[in-house]
Structure 1
Amino acid sequence: MSRIFTRLAMVLLALCTGFFQLSAQTVNISGAVTDKATGEALPGVSVTVRGTTSGTSTDSNGKFAFSTTGKGPFTLVVSYLGYATQLREVSASSTGLSFQLETTANTLGQDVVISASRTPERILESPVSIERIGVAAIRDIPAPSFYDALNNIKGVEMSAQSLTFKSVNTRGFNSNGNTRFNQFVDGMDNQAPGLNFSVGNIVGMTELDVENVELLPGASSALYGAGGINGTLLMTSKNPFDYQGASFQFKTGINHVNDGNVSAQPFNQLDVRLAKAWNNKFGIKTAFSFLQARDWYGTDGRNFDRTGRQLKAGDRASDPNYDGVNVYGDEINANLQGVSRQLVAGFAAQQPAAYGAFNSLLAVPGLNYSGIINAINTNPQFAALRPALPQLAPVLGVMYSLNRGTTPSQAISRTGYNEADLVDYNTSSLKTSTALHYKFTNTIQAIAQANWGTGTSVYTGTDRYSLRNFSIGQYKLELRGEDFYLKGYTTQERSGDAYNATLLGTFINEAWKPSSNPTNPTAGWFAQYTLAYSGARAQGLSEEASHAAARGVADQGRLVPGSPAFNLAKEAITKRTIGPANGARFNDKTNLYHYEGMYNFTNAFNKAVEFQVGASYRLYDLRSDGTIFDDLNRKLTIKEYGAFGQLGKKFFEDKLKLTVAGRFDKSQNFEGRFTPRITGVYTVAPNNNIRASYQTGFRNPTTQDQYIDLAVAGGSTRLIGGLPEFIEKYKLNTNRGYLADDYRAYAATAATSPTGVGDLSKLNGKEFTFDSEGLRPERVASFELGYKGLLDKSLLIDLYGYYNTYQDFIGAVELFQKNVTAADPTGLQSPIKYNVPVNIGGDVNTYGGALGLDYLVGKFSFNGNTSYNKIGDLPAGLLNTFNTPEWRFNAGIGAKEIVKHVGFNVQYRWQDEFYWNSTFGSGMVPAFSTVDAQINYRIPSVNSVLKLGGSNIANKYYTTSFGNPAVGAIYYLALTFNP
């Protein structure tokens, strides 16, 4: 890696050398900035030359002065937190300039965005739907963090797996780890290359360093490459030239109020940012954030049927095959009848004569269990059985119950452990960011940036994972000019002490008492359960009482959570890696390397047209030591290439702007893909625009879709990659599996069969066959029509509708493969389960729309939005993971200064109930509503703000997705210096 970055630095230096030779005249600019309403001087206002890095900030008296070089005219950009940005053109040296800024409460729709077209434009003129949160809005949000505030944007939903781990999504197909939504931090893809998806803000940006957040709902592959077919989030940090000085924020509060699991817990967060620039040439900034809190508890004890993929009635006391949603280790089960036959077969092999004699006893009519025992002990006819009685006694009840038909074909599961006993709820998040900026000229600068974060959190995938001391580092070198950029960065993912909580529960059980014991067949947990159950049934106990007695016998001496023996077992298992070591710990050190460049020819064409080209190269270096990927004994890498171009031009006196763009991408394991984009925006009246777009997007199968090889659900299911090599490895083309629905139909008949063998006609001819073309990238075509307009400078309306068509949709099939054994010649009582990514045939159509309103009345600002998302008919075999409510609604009211120095903000959010489908579990997510609120007091004398606020202030606990913890209120007090 060091060699690669050394070469990149040499390229950057070579490119810069030529620029030093350019000559340009010096232009001096000075003036003052005041508040238009009060006439007061405004210190700390940013004054820059647009398209360059030249500029400065106003002093304590609101005055500024700086020099720049180049050929005029120049456009000055004057911006300040909470005020509307002003632009003014100057052609030569200018002194005594005067700027009067208005607060943003009077300037709706004037924000400038970049991500929609990769060029600066007013948000009103964007050709596609885009949302923006600027510095002023971030200061006023009532949520605990700017990232949580994304929930209030129209069309956005979040899946909260824990306090610090949240997944953002738009337009459906949400998931706990969202692979259809991209996030970029200062132009760096924020995905964890081993996990495959963005890790929220656990290792993202610190709040004091956020300059703006831009969100593009829908497909954006033509500009941003693979992924992001549902949306793209771009977060930009503050640079050290425009935002200088020291600032800090301390936030303290509580959560878990009225939580039945734990008493109220403290919540503390410290953010610090330092930035300094010298001679408008060299700038440095560093930001730091540290959070500590008690995480939300996963306590869903409802009973889940993994075969039927749905909730079922019963609990541990009433259902022998109970599997709690947030209980782990109980995923391991066995068929009671199958275990009984194994025990009988073992006895028959050891004592064939005694086995035959006992069978003759069973044939005696009217002889009950006690009578059989009495006959062996007293009847001379059966005296030959007495020497074998010590070996016979343990299985006597099993043989009797099988013979009398009182042993049902019933699955029984091991007793699991609650999530709270297995994961680390002591949440922490430490984030750092340091950047060095050097200006070679007023328009060209080099940036070296390092972002690093570590934390402890809980994440939901196919299982629940405790991410202890998980870390990601991102390191970037960039050369940026007015018309180009060239950058390279790497993402370094380290799993730290992260482990699989489901496997941990399973292996704690196994460490105490194995599920089966080959050297002593009657000593395994399932054997002990079966022997005790059959004995109880043989003696006349009811089925329910027999199950209770059997579990009591099998669980005798079980490790108790919190006991020294339990803690020792937990520590040992979490130190061992997943795989042959029979541990629960990940060992992931996957890296991503990305190189990208772009050149904007717009100025070269005298702005007659907008024309941009760019290219990128990416390398994934998978290194999980066999704990995620099939890389225990081999090295795995994935290479990707891409290039794009975009051309835009205005027509009809600049009322109509048309833009066409296209991108070609190639991954080493798949054919190349071309993604076109066409957009148009028409100004029907000043500040009123109609937009239309046709956008396409695609995503390559993720690194896990391609190369995962991992046992989950306590080892009862194996996740494998969809590449042909894995289909061959597990012989799924020869010993073909059955789809889950077909196997369930068979299992329903087996459950009522006295032999445990169901109706095999349910499976005849239904073996699953993989597509001969193999796994392919997923594609989407999106049509959108929208309107955005500003009426009377006080009402901003944003309305859009969309229609998406997905092709080669990447879903997953759950296959049940025969596992033939001596006790199960059909191989269907305990089949091997695989979860395999595949392309689903047929189109998948989704559609929806959203309406947003922002309204200003005096000092008050009102906002409201609603969104609708719907999926059409589904192709056969597709697991519906649309996972989004049809309707969502947000409303808010705020004022920057309702009375002197006092402002407030209140946000209400509601979403409808919906059905959630995932590899972890499936079920209804109830409708819920929340209210976030804050009131703040500005202290100008010390340039500080005191904020009192809370999220979900009514403290109505809710869940955002199936199997994730319930989220309650967070109440906090924050002090911010120099915001």
Structure 2
Amino acid sequence: MRKKLPVLLLLLTSCLISISSFAQSVTIKGSVKGTSTGEALPAVSVTVKGSSAGVYTNDKGEFSITVPSLPVTLVISSVNFETKEVTVASASQQVEVSLTSSSPQMGEEIVVSATRVAIRKIESPVTIEQVSAANIRNSPASTFYEVVQNLKGVDMLTSSLTFKTPTTRGFNGSGNTRFNQITDGMDNQAPGLNFSVGSIIGLSELDVDNMELLPGASSALYGPGGMNGTLLINSKSPFKYQGFSFQIKQGIMHADRKYRQEVSPYYNWNLRWAEKIGERAAFKITSEFIQAKDWLAADQRNYKRLGTTGNLIPGTRTTDPNYDGVNVYGDETTFDLVPFLQGIGGQAPFLAPYINTLTGSPINVSRTGYAERDLVDPNTVNFKLGGAFHYKITDDLEAIAMGYIGSGNSVYTASDRYSFKNFIIKQYKLELKAKNWFIRGWATQEDAGESYNATVTTRLTNEAIRKTVTFTNGQPTPQLTDWAVIYSQAFLAGKLSGLTDIDAHNNARSVSDAGAPKPGTDQFKQIFDRVRSVPISKGGGLFIEKSDLYVAEGQYNFSHLTGNVVDILVGGDFRRFVLDSEGTLFADSAAPIPINQFGGYAQVSKKLLKDRLNLTVSGRYDKNENFDGRFTPRATALIKVNKNNSIRLSYQTAYRFPSTQQQWINLRVGGDVLLIGGVTELRDYYKFNSNPIYSLESVQAGAPKVYDYKALKPENVTSYELGYKGVVADNKLLIDVYGYYGQYENFLARTLVVQSKTGNISGLNSASTRQVYSVPVNTEAKVKTYGYGLGLEYKLPGNFVVTVNGSSDVLQDIPPGYVAFFNSPKYRANVIVGNNQLGKRKNIGFNIAYRWQDSYFFEGDFANGEVPAIQTLDAQFSYKIPKTKSLFKLGANNLLNQYYYHAPGNPSVGGLYYVSYSYNIF
């Protein structure tokens, strides 16, 4: 009993202390309003002066905070309002505060991404762009993601309504492995694709708190992939933003019926519900639904395809027997008519002399294809569901459990056109976050569902309807029912009857296609659906992708321990990719392929000359199990001319390991080309050592040269940048200008090589006896890039704001024979005019955005070609009702309905016109 007595006394003492503390604590309640409108102000910070304790007002402007004792001084603050201090001496005192709005100071916004610690935007040592929730609310864009394209130096490529890819400083495409996108600390890439899939997974529009964009090299702090930029998207905390919010956006597309047969509706619905549970816990649930008939890829220009390269040529289906339309699928299958005609001559010798007059050179003929409108489901759907639970273990330590799910239908352009059908991508995160450190673990899992390769599926559908030619043991054994045999007989009959060549071809095509089911019929749909449900690895068109990504990472800021001497930040992460495509994309038919990768970084900052000079040095080391490790340093200097003017200089390096596809892809594309990865296992599998490969260029030139295929290395870039940011003209004009120069080493590109199937060099000259590969390579020459940008934001009288920005990016010194995929206009510009405080009550607003970009040549595995200059006009008009916390909007994307496309083979984007109603948006 005596042994237990000290324990009982300790427990009793603890209880008494707890009861005493509870008894002494005081709860203060109050509300906050705006002086000009009298409306309740949500998300206002209420903190105890001299303490870390604090809360936010709810959607009704109310707050409740518990303090140990009275009196205390409360600090009430919010963006765009003057801060107030209120002393509370009595528990019965009802605190009612009115905040006076203040004109926001340009450049005073707080950003984190530039250095991973909070700093004023105007003091960022590198170029940075920012989008706030207010920017999103007022922007003339149909979704929050599209707001990014109005920022300085940004390109946005549209593969479909819901699949859009941003980039900075060039190298754009439907999938950009040189650009990071991070949502709430989680890399938003699809593990198998190795690039972000836009906004089809992640935050709903009402839950976006802000976005920060770092153009250019950013690997030193954010890891591999940040060669050309990093976009960070941050969500709203349920402690700060509470209540139920929703937004209903309804619109129309295809107003002129140019590409679709009828005007179609556009739906975009958002909701968010967040609440506190006591003083320590809070949760949120978010959801978004988008549905519409997608923009249509309808480029029917003729394309001369050579593997994954080619060019646009004259001709149509009725003028070129070997026609291959860019967005016409199935016509990639082609054959030489000559052997079939000669076969007829062998069976009917009396026709041989005449046939010999027709067959002096190859007569290439393609199968009849089908337009994308006849094959791909136009119904684009994107459903997102998210949720989070936050718990404050202490005032300075918060635990977060979070998850996002995105699913639906979309379309994506890669080496072929892919229909993403019933896909699902999931992300989960557990995190502990304190003032000076965090540790988190998260995972991304994808399931391609019923997604299929539209090109491959259509070619195989043609073969299921009628074989082009029958093969036995790998050798052609023509049958009378084969499409090519019927075609050759009908062509010869047409010529014998006196038809011209092209008329004979068109007649032969109609005979060969006779009896084939038409697109849209049940019979055609049954065949097409049967083919697309069979995995690519088993002779169908189904694209299986169930890859995963698992990550653990942490960071610690030692600055509070080092005083004013120096600021130190360290962090690191471990990543594990698990590739699982069942052989439809990767060389993983036998088993999933794991890839492990780890890295760490450190940053040291020091302020000198009475804080007028801020020097920062950082570096990161990463190691991928398939490649040597890579160290990337960064050094920046910020010179403060005065409080609101600064000059920045930076030396930055960035790198990326070859992507998961560049490592392990094993996919037949373009009809006869194998797109393969660069790992040793694949080169050994295809016997590159014992059966040499030759550069395609040398074979075409008639002088075959053995290609020295070296082991892949990580690509890296060194970038130098000089910039200035300042507020002048009595705090009315913000100027931001930069110039940069970069140099790539071991630049990753692709090239075409040829291997003889017979093992003899003579086999390189015939399509039937050779195999063409598209292989990833590092160029030996140093590739250079340079550019500049200028942004001006001017506040006019009456709350009008004008923003003008322009930029330029150039790539040079690409060696001949390599495809760089730079895909960026040399010049681009944006002009935005807006006012969100019109009217007596300042509740009327409008924004107009004009966007222009120069023409450029697009390089892609699917198609190459010139993209004409693009200019679009977006606009929106808004009306706010403060009493009901409502906002009405009338808006249009591409107001003038001037169709444009960002790449050959991508959809033509027209006008989208909408009205929206939002409730309780912050």
Q: What TM-score, normalized to structure 2?
A: 0.91
- Asked whether 1:942 is paired with 2:890, we answer no
Distance, in Å, in 1 between the alignment partners of 2:134 and 2:112 is 18
1:301 maps to which residue?
300
Distance, in Å, in 1 between the alignment partners of 2:138 and 2:566 is 39
Distance, in Å, in 1 between the alignment partners of 2:76 and 2:605 is 24
1:844 maps to which residue?
783
**How do 1:90-129 residues align onto structure 2 when only pairs under 5 Å count?**
105-129=103-127
Cα drift, residue 76 of structure 1:
5.8
Q: Secondary structure at the match of 1:147?
A: helix
Cα drift, residue 769 of structure 1:
2.3
**How do 1:966-977 residues align onto structure 2 when only pairs under 5 Å count?**
966-977=908-919
With over 3 angstroms needed to count, the CA separation of the structure-2 counterparts of 1:742 and 1:820, relative to structure 1, is same
1:973 is matched by which residue type in structure 2?
A: V
- Residues 605-654 of structure 1: CA deviation (Å, up to 9, x unaligned): 22432211111100001111111111111331000010110010111101
Cα drift, residue 875 of structure 1:
2.1
- Asked whether 1:813 is paired with 2:751, we answer yes
Range 526-535 or range 630-639, more displaced:
526-535
Match 1:576 to one of 534, 538, 542: 534
Range 491-500 or range 858-867, more displaced:
858-867
1:453 maps to which residue?
406
1:776 maps to which residue?
713
* Alignment check: 8 A CA contact 1:245 1:276 kept: yes
Cα drift, residue 535 of structure 1:
4.4
2:695 maps to which residue?
739
**How do 1:29-108 residues align onto structure 2 when only pairs under 5 Å count?**
33-35=32-34, 42-47=41-46, 54-58=53-57, 64-67=63-66, 78-80=77-79, 83=80, 105-108=103-106
1:350 maps to which residue?
none
1:956 is matched by which residue type in structure 2?
A: Q
1:724 is matched by which residue type in structure 2?
A: T
1:139 is matched by which residue type in structure 2?
A: R
Cα drift, residue 702 of structure 1:
0.8
Cα drift, residue 244 of structure 1:
0.7
Range 26-35 or range 496-505, more displaced:
26-35
* Alignment check: 8 A CA contact 1:400 1:538 kept: no
Range 562-571 or range 653-662, more displaced:
562-571
1:590 maps to which residue?
547
- Asked whether 1:834 is paired with 2:834, we answer no
Distance, in Å, in 1 between the alignment partners of 2:236 and 2:812 is 43
Distance, in Å, in 1 between the alignment partners of 2:310 and 2:387 is 47
Q: CA RMSD of the aligned region, Å? A: 2.9
- Asked whether 1:414 is paired with 2:367, we answer yes
2:519 maps to which residue?
561
2:705 maps to which residue?
766
2:645 maps to which residue?
688
2:535 is matched by which residue type in structure 1?
A: T
1:793 maps to which residue?
731
With over 3 angstroms needed to count, the CA separation of the structure-2 counterparts of 1:735 and 1:687, relative to structure 1, is same
Cα drift, residue 108 of structure 1:
1.7
2:772 is matched by which residue type in structure 1?
A: K
* Alignment check: 8 A CA contact 2:299 2:904 kept: no
**How do 1:284-683 residues align onto structure 2 when only pairs under 5 Å count?**
284-307=283-306, 309-340=310-341, 343=343, 392-393=347-348, 397=351, 399-404=352-357, 406-518=359-471, 521-523=478-480, 524-537=482-495, 540-579=498-537, 581-683=538-640
2:373 is matched by which residue type in structure 1?
A: A
Q: Secondary structure at the match of 1:267?
A: strand
2:818 is matched by which residue type in structure 1?
A: L
2:6 maps to which residue?
none
Among all aligned residue pairs of Structure 1 and Structure 2, give the percentage whose two residues are the same amino acid: 43
Distance, in Å, in 2 between the alignment partners of 1:646 and 1:142 is 39
- Residues 868-926 of structure 1: CA deviation (Å, up to 9, x unaligned): 11112222332132100111110111111211321111111111111100111100111
Distance, in Å, in 2 between the alignment partners of 1:37 and 1:676 is 50
- Residues 519-577 of structure 1: CA deviation (Å, up to 9, x unaligned): 65133222332333344445654322222232223222223101222011011011111
2:13 maps to which residue?
none
Cα drift, residue 425 of structure 1:
1.3
Cα drift, residue 835 of structure 1:
1.3
* Alignment check: 8 A CA contact 1:113 1:123 kept: yes
Cα drift, residue 52 of structure 1:
10
Match 1:709 to one of 626, 649, 666: 666
Distance, in Å, in 2 between the alignment partners of 1:67 and 1:780 is 53
With over 3 angstroms needed to count, the CA separation of the structure-2 counterparts of 1:818 and 1:671, relative to structure 1, is same
* Alignment check: 8 A CA contact 1:203 1:455 kept: no
* Alignment check: 8 A CA contact 2:46 2:74 kept: no
Distance, in Å, in 2 between the alignment partners of 1:577 and 1:87 is 64
Q: Secondary structure at the match of 1:550?
A: helix
Q: Secondary structure at the match of 1:583?
A: coil
2:886 is matched by which residue type in structure 1?
A: S
2:837 maps to which residue?
897
1:366 maps to which residue?
none
Distance, in Å, in 2 between the alignment partners of 1:707 and 1:93 is 69
2:682 maps to which residue?
726
Q: Secondary structure at the match of 1:136?
A: helix
1:818 is matched by which residue type in structure 2?
A: S
Distance, in Å, in 2 between the alignment partners of 1:811 and 1:797 is 37
Q: Secondary structure at the match of 1:273?
A: strand
Distance, in Å, in 1 between the alignment partners of 2:732 and 2:117 is 27
1:383 maps to which residue?
none
* Alignment check: 8 A CA contact 1:401 1:537 kept: no
Match 2:656 to one of 675, 699, 705: 699
* Alignment check: 8 A CA contact 2:755 2:764 kept: no
Cα drift, residue 195 of structure 1:
1.6
With over 3 angstroms needed to count, the CA separation of the structure-2 counterparts of 1:77 and 1:595, relative to structure 1, is farther
Range 873-882 or range 611-620, more displaced:
873-882
2:577 is matched by which residue type in structure 1?
A: Y
With over 3 angstroms needed to count, the CA separation of the structure-2 counterparts of 1:766 and 1:59, relative to structure 1, is closer
Range 326-335 or range 27-36, more displaced:
27-36
Distance, in Å, in 2 between the alignment partners of 1:499 and 1:963 is 17
- Asked whether 1:876 is paired with 2:833, we answer no
* Alignment check: 8 A CA contact 2:746 2:780 kept: yes
With over 3 angstroms needed to count, the CA separation of the structure-2 counterparts of 1:460 and 1:47, relative to structure 1, is farther
2:822 is matched by which residue type in structure 1?
A: F
With over 3 angstroms needed to count, the CA separation of the structure-2 counterparts of 1:417 and 1:219, relative to structure 1, is same
1:145 is matched by which residue type in structure 2?
A: T
Distance, in Å, in 1 between the alignment partners of 2:848 and 2:55 is 35
How many residues matched? 885
With over 3 angstroms needed to count, the CA separation of the structure-2 counterparts of 1:842 and 1:928, relative to structure 1, is same
1:15 maps to which residue?
none
* Alignment check: 8 A CA contact 1:50 1:77 kept: no
- Residues 172-191 of structure 1: CA deviation (Å, up to 9, x unaligned): 11111111101011000000
Distance, in Å, in 2 between the alignment partners of 1:554 and 1:777 is 51
Structure 1 residue runs without a partner (length 5+): 1-19, 348-354, 356-391, 747-761
Q: What TM-score, normalized to structure 1?
A: 0.86
* Alignment check: 8 A CA contact 1:333 1:414 kept: yes
Match 2:795 to one of 829, 832, 856: 856
Cα drift, residue 281 of structure 1:
0.3
With over 3 angstroms needed to count, the CA separation of the structure-2 counterparts of 1:541 and 1:636, relative to structure 1, is same
2:907 maps to which residue?
965
* Alignment check: 8 A CA contact 2:202 2:386 kept: no
With over 3 angstroms needed to count, the CA separation of the structure-2 counterparts of 1:340 and 1:61, relative to structure 1, is closer
1:281 maps to which residue?
280
1:237 maps to which residue?
235
* Alignment check: 8 A CA contact 2:43 2:78 kept: no
Cα drift, residue 829 of structure 1:
3.8
